[in-house]
Amino acid sequence: MLYYTLVFLVVALIAGVLGFGGIAGAAAGIAKILFFVFLVLFVLSLIFGRRKVSV
């Protein structure tokens, strides 16, 4: 998921440099959403992924 965030970020930067403002804004918005989804899933996996089962 972090890979797709970086891809959309690069697309937004290239589109911004070439003057495509609408595409750059949309790609940057998608990159931001994907980054926050990744961050939430990462924190949840840190919290719930380290359960020790006592037998």
Provide the number of structural domains found in the chain: 1
Residue 52 in any domain: the answer is no
The range of the structural domain enclosing residue 34 comes to: 2-45
Cβ neighbours around 11 below 10 Å, total: 18
Would the pTM count as exceeding 0.85?
Answer: no
Residue 51 in any domain: the answer is no
Residue 29 in any domain: the answer is yes
* pLDDT surpasses 90 at 4: no
The pLDDT value recorded for residue 55 is 67
Give the tens place of pLDDT for each residue, 13-54: 899 899 888 888 888 898 899 889 999 999 998 888 876 666
Q: Say how many CA atoms lie within 13 Å of 49 toward its Cβ.
A: 6
Residue 34 in any domain: the answer is yes
The pLDDT value recorded for residue 48 is 86
Cβ neighbours around 45 below 10 Å, total: 10
**Whole-angstrom Cα distance, residue 15 to residue 8?**
10
Q: How far is CA 50 from CA 20, 41, 42, in A?
A: 45, 14, 13
